[in-house]
Amino acid sequence: MANENYAALEQEMETVLEKIFEAGAKLYAERGFKRRVGYGTRPAVIHIDMANAWTRPGHPFSCEGMDTIIPACQDLNAAARAKGVPVIFITTAYDVLDDSLASDMGLWGQKIPLETLDASTGAADIDSRIAPQEGELVIKKKRASAFPGTNLNQFLTANRIDTLIVTGVTATACVRHTVEDAVAEGFRPIVVKEAVGDRVPGVVAYNLFDMDSKFGDVEPLENVVNYLNELPNFEDTVPTTTLSVKQAVTS
């Protein structure tokens, strides 16, 4: 009964949010928000925290929606790999889990159960259903965003990436902060609608709306896969130059 009530509440919330965001989208458009960064010509796919602690049930970090998110990530991987587009995996784990010691969890561990992200348990391993292939980059981060304290920016810059196709969890934290940092660093964030999840009803819808309004483009899976399918092989692509604001608005 509790699960039925929860599902009903979630559906009711989604209906209300849909009405709110429809009105909000018109307001933002009138004020010059919701512009499009658009697809570039030299992308990479990046999966945020699609590791066992988040994708499998029974863990404090477990997220909802994997029946949709995992297949979406599989489709993206297949399309990207067919063109030689880099696929990057991000996970989060800590080396010193005893908060009585000098720990790499920092103050964040005072808010959320980071001590459960013990790499030795397999919690931080990328879900085997979307497992990295040989040569694909796997980055271990310590913060919400995949950028600070990692070699992600160096990898993207060295490989002349201009577009980041983003999936993962959670919408409220690690996905959102990665998208915010990506656009700040000059990459075009494309967030795949069906491939983002979280734990609490309503927060995915809100964060997708807000990211699409301010930080990147939220696109349906079909559009992103079609974009990848239509690309030349990665080795034959060149980066897209940055558009001016005027060009972006009128194009």
Active site residues per annotation: 174
From the CB of residue 113, how many other CB atoms can be counted at a distance below 10 Å?
A: 12
| CA of residue 216 relative to chain centroid, distance | 11
Tokens of 136: 């694909």
Pair of tokens at residue 221 = 């899976």
Helix axes 2-30, 203-214, angle to 10 degrees: 20
The span from the CA of 247 to the CA of 228, in Å, is 24
Q: Which amino acid is at 169?
A: V
Instruction: Give the separation between CA 98 and CA 229, rounded to whole angstroms.
Output: 47
Give the DSSP letter of residue 201.
T
